[in-house]
Amino acid sequence: MTQDQLKRKVAEASLEYIKGYSVLGIGTGSTVNHLIDCLADIKHDIEATVSSSVNSTERLKKLGIPVLDLNEVGTLDIYLDGADEINPHKQLIKGGGAALTREKIIAAASRKFICIADDSKCVDVLGKFPLPVEVIPMARSYVARELVKLGGQPVYREHCVTDNGGHILDVHNLSIVDPIALEKAINNIVGVITCGIFAMRPADMVLLATADGVRKID
């Protein structure tokens, strides 16, 4: 089975877990794109969504699924999103699609965060995937120097402007043994909007597609 087929499989499996919820938080990425396609079949059960990116918003609207501003909704019952890496504590690296800040906001505002992914995303220690850090553009080189002091090798993601007008630094060579401490340290650098470590607010449940089926990690 290809990685894309696994992504489809886990997206389909996640429909079971959104039954009964009429307002959904929706993430960003190719796994979530499969989920959005699946939502088309059950769109009459969905009152509205809150989306973490312009891309997901456009896909949802194209299917006739309403998208609301998070400020109108308040607390969400459920949020579904993918990940770039997942450790055994359901802590994540996210932001490969540059939507990390809005994703982190929706995750924080949600009672339950279900991460959907294929099993290639599982790691023991986070950090093999270069850590995305969203920055205010004028702070880019200052933040990069501070990230070097933390042991990383930041690389500017050229031609990428986030939905918030931010820039992305992808930080290589980090072995993230204490994800909460590093998340706090990076977020404390002046000019950082947020970093892609989701440890202070990890996923509550991970649905993982494997060649043998979808595994639930609660």
Catalytic residue positions, numbered: 103
Tell me, what DSSP letter sits at residue 102? Answer: H
130 binds ligand 5RP (CB under 6 A): no
Please report how close the Cβ of residue 218 comes to ligand 5RP at its closest, in angstroms.
Answer: 20
Region from 41-49, 94-102, 180-188, 208-216 binding ligand 5RP, contact rule CB under 6 A: 94-102
Q: How far apart are CA 151 and CA 173, in angstroms?
A: 8
- Where are the strands (E) in the chain, listed by range? 23-26, 48-51, 76-81, 85-86, 92-93, 110-118, 131-135, 153-156, 167-172, 192-195, 197-198, 205-210, 213-217
Residues with Cβ within 8 Å of 129's Cβ and at least 6 positions away in sequence, in order, are 84, 85, 93, 96
CB atoms within 10 A of CB 112: 17
| Residues in the annotated binding site for substrate | 28-31, 81-84, 94-97, 121
Site string for ligand 5RP, 19-38 (x = CB under 6 A): --------xxxxx-------
Please report how close the Cβ of residue 204 comes to ligand 5RP at its closest, in angstroms.
Answer: 16
Please report how close the Cβ of residue 149 comes to ligand 5RP at its closest, in angstroms.
Answer: 26
100 binds ligand 5RP (CB under 6 A): yes
The residues that touch ligand 5RP, with contacts defined as CB under 6 A, are 27-31, 81-84, 94-100, 103
